[in-house]
Chains A and B, each alone.
Chain A
Amino acid sequence: MSINLCADQLVLALADRSQISGLTHNATDPEMSGEAAKARGLPLLSNSAEQILAIEPDLIVGMPASRSAALTALPQRTYPLLDLATANTLDEIYTSIRQTAVAVGHPERGAALIARMQAELAGLPKPGKGRVAAYYQRRGYMTGTGTLIDELMTRVGLVNLAGKLGKPPLSQLSLEEMVAAEPDYLIVESATDTVTDQGSEMLHHPALKDIPRISVPQAWTVCGSPAYTEAARSMAAQITRIEGRIS
């Protein structure tokens, strides 16, 4: 069983369906998880100690599993745990895939998945050509360097505005500052494409209307997961399309 949304996706990608005894309650949400379709029909848990007791799992996968509040409530039970590290680079994603594949008893699936991802990424163009992009989130949060987003930008040839401005991994940038920084692209979560509240409304402010947008589903980027390649492919394709329109 998995007790973390990111671990959910790895377990779904690598384990047999019959092996999975529980996922987190967000596992079936297509906006949060890149493997949501596969999760449908599997038992979803709400991270309570009682549910873990009832399942008696052979393996608990978390990020890290040993620090889970539900498990600390069960000090006498010793379940086999797999502690995955939060992946901030592609190599760390590969490591997580390998670890999970071994833990669920299918190391060959892990190797195959990594080979597939490497092949796909190798064929990807770098259309960004050093242009500056900002990953701008609701309420003006901007994603910085040392993150998966930053690595994705580099992969498609973009430069992260946060790095240029020397901002930390997560910083808040007001609309005024964003306008003054004049990035070539804004990268936004596709969930904020429509205005649903005040947080997403600010991303639709007329002051930003002239900056081209790349929209990526959060499900592909929030976790270090196999969906990394889809995010990279989609970003490259969107840049190529926008560049084609401009020139």
Chain B
Amino acid sequence: MSRFALPRWSLVAALSLLTLAAAVGSLLYGAVDLSVARLVDAAMGNEDKVASIILFDLRLPRTILALAVGAMLGLAGAALQGYLRNPLAEPSVLGTSNAAALGGVAAIYFGLAEIHPIILPLLATGGALLSLALLFILSGKAESPLTLILAGIAVGTLAVAGTSLALNLSPNPFAAMEIMTWLLGSLENRSFDHVWIALPCIAIGMAMLLWNGRALDALTLGEDAAQALGTDLRRTRLRLLIGTAIGVGGAVAVTGAIGFVGLIVPHLIRPLTDRSPSAILLPSAIGGAALLTLADLGVRIIPTTNELKLGVVTAFLGVPVFLVHLMRERRLW
């Protein structure tokens, strides 16, 4: 038990409040200065075309996506860390996000996404699933956390190279700019079309991951003990794989690969709980939503001529977490 452990409900409530505040901030703040009164007026349905387009067509879908994608990434990080019993596991470190981006790039730049809207999330999910399968084959049954991370680096690097190659091969003269968006992620200029692509995938993915809490707790005792406790390991793994792939695939298909959210959030949440994997699942999802929404707000507030990419902000937040971990590990040696 951690000294700081909060009752579960109060943690969830506090995180929810933070998330709500972030979402409201995201609706109120943007490139154009609109007064709160004007936005409230527009929300009430008054005749103010500019404010209502900005609020409902631009800021609302962006906020919804930030919340949903952040929640998915936070939850995927928590679930993967729990299942693999590895504090560094998360979709972008393991190469899943980049593989999903590769699928999305293939769908868009070779015109497949025009055939039917479902092809984009389908290929992104396919990319994610393939990378996870490859990851488990590469790392095998090795107990060492290092093997898994190395395999993840291999898979991720392969996917990044594939993405760049695909964009260079596509008949698009603006490939360099596009590569950046896909590898660093962005919520700029998203619309409800994107929300409808991502949201169903994320809902399915999150449901499949939240289901695993009990099995993850049992796994902390080791695989054999978990099996003795009646956990069906094969099913747990399958749910985890497919849930992560569908959720992360849908998210990456519309935002690009946003790194580190899944890494940071469980680490920030864990000291506030009893540290059992099941206890951090839901708080990590809510925390992820808050973090990504805040990061996206930061992207808009920091004055740059070109809008900052979201992945840049999350990486700046993620690296210190890596460092803290590294130092703690060294102390243990």
Binding site for B on A (CB under 8 A): 138-140, 172, 174-177, 179-180, 182, 194-199, 201-202, 205-207, 210
Residue contacts A-B, CB under 8 angstroms, 15 given: A172-B305, A172-B306, A174-B32, A174-B189, A176-B59, A177-B32, A179-B53, A180-B50, A194-B114, A196-B109, A198-B108, A198-B181, A201-B189, A205-B57, A207-B58
Chain B residues, CB < 8 A from A175? 58, 189
Chain B residues, CB < 8 A from A198? 108, 178, 181
A194 to chain B minimum Cβ distance, whole angstroms, is 8
Q: A177-B31, A180-B32, A205-B189 are in contact. Are A197 and B109 (CB under 8 A)?
A: yes
Q: A207-B53, A207-B58, A207-B191 are in contact. Are A174 and B172 (CB under 8 A)?
A: no
Closest A-B pairs by Cβ, 8 of them: A207-B57, A174-B31, A202-B189, A176-B31, A180-B32, A176-B32, A179-B53, A176-B30
Chain A residues, CB < 8 A from B153? none
19 other A-B residue contacts (CB within 8 Å) besides A174-B32, A180-B32 = A139-B177, A140-B189, A172-B305, A174-B307, A176-B30, A176-B31, A176-B32, A177-B31, A177-B32, A179-B50, A179-B54, A197-B109, A198-B178, A199-B177, A202-B189, A206-B57, A206-B191, A207-B191, A210-B53
Q: A138-B174, A196-B172 are in contact. Are A176 and B191 (CB under 8 A)?
A: no
Docked complex: B184-240 residues within 8 A CB-CB of A: 188-189, 191-193
Bound together, the chains give a CA A199 to CA B181 distance in angstroms of 10
Chain A residues, CB < 8 A from B177? 139, 199
A216 to chain B minimum Cβ distance, whole angstroms, is 18
Chain B residues, CB < 8 A from A176? 30-32, 54, 58-59
Interface size on B, residues (CB 8 A): 27
Bound together, the chains give a CA A177 to CA B58 distance in angstroms of 11
Bound together, the chains give a CA A207 to CA B58 distance in angstroms of 7
Chain A residues, CB < 8 A from B109? 196-197
Bound together, the chains give a CA A179 to CA B178 distance in angstroms of 24
**Could you tell me if B58 and A179 are in contact, using CB atoms closer than 8 angstroms?**
yes
Chain B residues, CB < 8 A from A177? 31-32
A155 to chain B minimum Cβ distance, whole angstroms, is 28
**Could you tell me if B172 and A197 are in contact, using CB atoms closer than 8 angstroms?**
yes
Contact of B178 among A140, A172, A199 (CB under 8 A): A199
**Could you tell me if A182 and B50 are in contact, using CB atoms closer than 8 angstroms?**
yes
Contact of A197 among B54, B108, B307 (CB under 8 A): B108
Interface of chain A: mostly helix, strand, loop or mixed: helix
Chain B residues, CB < 8 A from A206? 57, 191-193
Q: A139-B177, A199-B178 are in contact. Are A205 and B191 (CB under 8 A)?
A: yes
Chain A residues, CB < 8 A from B32? 174, 176-177, 179-180
Chain B residues, CB < 8 A from A138? 174
Bound together, the chains give a CA A205 to CA B189 distance in angstroms of 7
Residue of A nearest to B186 (CB): A198
Bound together, the chains give a CA A91 to CA B305 distance in angstroms of 33
Chain B residues, CB < 8 A from A139? 177
1/0 per residue, CB under 8 A from A, across B87-98: the answer is 000000000000
Chain A residues, CB < 8 A from B192? 206
Docked complex: B163-186 residues within 8 A CB-CB of A: 172, 174, 177-178, 181
Bound together, the chains give a CA A199 to CA B180 distance in angstroms of 12
Residue of B nearest to A32 (CB): B173
Chain A residues, CB < 8 A from B111? 196
Bound together, the chains give a CA A127 to CA B193 distance in angstroms of 35
Chain B residues, CB < 8 A from A210? 49, 53
Chain A residues, CB < 8 A from B178? 197-199
Interface centre among B57, B111, B189, B192 (most CB of A within 10 A): B189
Interface centre among A194, A199, A201, A205 (most CB of B within 10 A): A205
Interface centre among B174, B181, B305 (most CB of A within 10 A): B174
Interface centre among A174, A180, A198 (most CB of B within 10 A): A198
Chain A residues, CB < 8 A from B188? 174, 202
A182 to chain B minimum Cβ distance, whole angstroms, is 6
Chain B residues, CB < 8 A from A197? 108-109, 172, 174, 178
Residue of A nearest to B57 (CB): A207
Chain B residues, CB < 8 A from A202? 188-189
Bound together, the chains give a CA A76 to CA B293 distance in angstroms of 60
Chain A residues, CB < 8 A from B30? 174, 176
Bound together, the chains give a CA A201 to CA B172 distance in angstroms of 13
Bound together, the chains give a CA A172 to CA B188 distance in angstroms of 13
**Could you tell me if B54 and A207 are in contact, using CB atoms closer than 8 angstroms?**
yes
